[in-house]
């Protein structure tokens, strides 16, 4: 079986996983596979798995691992994943890791696990500072990308608000869930010599160039 490239991104919310994955998507010509996108796709198209997942979500329950695993497995069999994929948000616990290992084993296994490190304080500052325009959806940041007038969109004078997902309490909970569920994956991948540490406090382009060097090395293994 031909070898494929599978990258698994780890890091706290706000570390820049999505941004780095997006940049790599273009340079490596590999699709970014995020569980958020997969869920939205299955719900929108009312697939059997989507409806099953919805039945749990409607009851306020977590979607079981086996449903998530099956959805990812289906996604990875699509033609655009014939060379591999960049995973963001999966696997997120040890049950999913074991299933994912089995899924990619015929193609040479996981290529590299970039871990983007970032202090909790900085992650909080990045996420809780986000503001979104109610009218056009433009995204601002109170420190890094402030609108000309506080609370008002530059483009259409719409009202800026903080998404519920970005509120301090929610972010604290997202960090807790990350450390509890995903934390053990760091040890797991370290033990398999797949972990690549990156400093998420560095500028986006610096992280990206370091990442490319590490991926090149991993592909030569
Ligand atoms: Zn606006």
The rounded Å distance from CA 165 to ligand 1 centre is 19
The rounded Å distance from CA 41 to ligand 1 centre is 27
Rounded to the nearest 5°, which phi and psi values hold at 156?
-140, 15
The rounded Å distance from CA 157 to ligand 1 centre is 6
Q: Which pLDDT score is estimated for 61?
A: 86
The rounded Å distance from CA 126 to ligand 1 centre is 20
Kindly list the catalytic residues. 17, 92, 130, 163, 174
3-state secondary structure of 170: helix
Q: Which pLDDT score is estimated for 68?
A: 95
pTM: 0.89
Q: Is 70 exposed, middle or buried (0-12, 13-18, 19+ CB in 10 A)?
A: middle
Q: Print pLDDT tens along the chain (221 aa).
A: 789 999 999 999 999 999 999 999 999 999 999 988 999 999 999 999 999 999 998 998 889 999 999 999 999 999 999 999 999 999 999 999 999 999 999 999 999 999 999 999 999 999 999 999 999 999 999 999 999 999 999 999 999 999 998 999 999 999 999 999 999 999 999 999 999 999 999 999 999 999 999 999 999 88
3-state secondary structure of 197: strand
Q: Which pLDDT score is estimated for 100?
A: 98
The rounded Å distance from CA 154 to ligand 1 centre is 7
Tokens of residue 137, six digits: 């959806």
The rounded Å distance from CA 166 to ligand 1 centre is 18
Q: Which pLDDT score is estimated for 36?
A: 87
Kindly write down the DSSP assignment for every residue of 11-35, as one continuous string. E-TTSSHHHHHHHHHHHHT--EEEH
Rounded to the nearest 5°, which phi and psi values hold at 120?
-55, -40
Q: Which pLDDT score is estimated for 2?
A: 86
Give, rounded to a whole angstrom, the gap between the first and last alpha carbons of the chain.
17
Give the Cα-Cα-Cα angle 16, 125, 62 (nearest 5 degrees): 65
């Amino acid at each position: 079986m031909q070898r494929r490239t599978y990258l698994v991104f780890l890091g706290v919310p706000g570390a820049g996983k999505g941004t780095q994955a997006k940049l790599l998507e273009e340079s490596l010509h590999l699709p970014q596979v995020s569980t958020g996108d997969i869920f939205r796709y299955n719900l929108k198209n009312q697939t059997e798995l989507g409806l099953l997942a919805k039945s749990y979500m409607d009851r306020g329950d977590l979607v079981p691992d086996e449903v998530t695993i099956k959805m990812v497995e289906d996604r990875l069999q699509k033609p655009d994943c014939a060379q591999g994929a960049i995973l963001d948000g999966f696997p997120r616990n040890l049950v999913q890791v074991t299933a994912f290992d089995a899924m990619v084993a015929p193609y040479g296994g996981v290529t590299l696990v970039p871990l983007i490190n970032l202090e909790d304080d900085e992650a909080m500052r990045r996420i809780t500072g986000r503001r979104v325009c109610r009218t056009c959806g433009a995204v601002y940041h109170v420190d890094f990308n402030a609108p000309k007038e506080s609370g008002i969109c530059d483009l259409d004078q719409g009202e800026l608000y903080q998404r519920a997902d970005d509120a301090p309490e929610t972010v604290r909970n997202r960090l807790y869930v990350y450390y509890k569920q995903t934390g053990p994956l760091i040890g797991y991948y370290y033990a398999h010599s797949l972990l690549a540490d990156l400093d998420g406090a560095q500028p986006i382009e610096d992280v990206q160039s370091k990442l490319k060097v590490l991926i090149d090395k991993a592909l030569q293994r």
